Amino acid sequence: MTTPPPPSEPETAAVPTCYRHPGRETYVRCQRCDRSICPDCMREASVGFQCPECVAEGNKTVRQAQTAFGGRAVTTPRATWTLLVLNVLAYVAETLAPGPVIYGFQMDAGAVYHGEWWRLLTGAFLHAPLANGSFAITHILFNMWALYVIGPELERRLGSLRFLALYLLSALGGAVAVYLFGIAAVGASGAIYGMFGALFVVSRRLGYNARGVLLLIVANAVITFAVPGISWQGHLGGLITGTVVGVILAYAPQRNRNVVQWGGCAVVLLALAAVVMTLPPYIYQLQLGFPG
């Protein structure tokens, strides 16, 4: 007679390990996919923890916060600070080498007419050099003060990309006006006046009292025509362009808003380019028989 063998001990259950770090034991599971996750992979959720992949997947379905006019919400106005730094760096460069910088990059109608297109935009980042007297430092200080004060507000209302489009198109609009009716100019004033116009539009669109902005525009317009040596062309061109772009951005319908806004900005850009490509500057209009 044989004795039956004793029952075998139950097999020890396998210890769960992290799906991303197989060598780490863990008894915590992702609340979405139920995979084991170690402390380094735990992401706190509303209930329990989730793995990094589930968190990333969930973020795709979260709607990004937007401004009142469709841009991505702005906490730090990086576009404004970047523009301000670029203007200051350009001023340092022209102070160290005024001749090459000013004569190579200022807005010059004759040079643009002969193919130096970059001057339409680079001139907006230059300012009157120190050699021109006390007005020089006042020139850049006022423009940078206005950018510092108004830029962040507009950027937070519009979003960084839309604000940048407004700024550059306003600068271009001011340069085109100088091209048509002036000779040469430097300064960010066209872009600054464009910001004035856009701020007025945005304020009205949001239902704010825009009287203060209107007084600011009128006061600067008086200075523009009262003080000699100021390019009224650049100021007026920037103001008109900025106001138009502001209307496009602020009054675009909710439906297809992105298409209307970016399409409208593209139309403004093409219109300004068409003006420069089809019309000669004022300095040649008289020679070619255009009415003065």
Q: What is the pLDDT of residues 13-22, one digit of tens each?
A: 578 898 988 8
- Out of 139, 170, 203, 235, which one is annotated catalytic? 235
204 pLDDT exceeds 50?
A: yes
* Rounded average pLDDT over 231-255: 95
* Rounded average pLDDT over 263-269: 98
69 pLDDT exceeds 50?
A: yes
Residue-level pLDDT at 11: 46
* Structure tokens that stand for 244 in this block: 């138009």
Which phi-psi region, left, alpha or beta, contains residue 177 (left: φ > 0; alpha: ψ -120 to 50)?
A: alpha
CB contact at 8 A, 149 and 80: no
207 vs 215: CA distance, rounded Å? 17
* Rounded average pLDDT over 24-52: 85
Active site residue 235: yes
- Out of 170, 189, 203, 231, which one is annotated catalytic? 189
Residue-level pLDDT at 40: 86
Active site residue 139: no
Architecture of 78-285 per CATH?
Up-down Bundle (1.20)
**Residue range(s) in the chain whose domain bears CATH number 1.20.1540.10:** 78-285
224 vs 231: CA distance, rounded Å? 7
pLDDT category, 9, cuts 50, 70, 90? very low
Residue in 206, 118, 202 with CA at minimum distance from that of residue 154: 202
CA separation, residue 284 to residues 182, 232, 291 (Å): 11, 19, 11
The rounded percent of the chain whose pLDDT value lies above 70 is 87
Residue-level pLDDT at 291: 45
196 vs 212: CA distance, rounded Å? 11
* Rounded average pLDDT over 156-181: 96
Q: 128-137, 159-168, 215-224: lowest mean pLDDT where?
A: 128-137
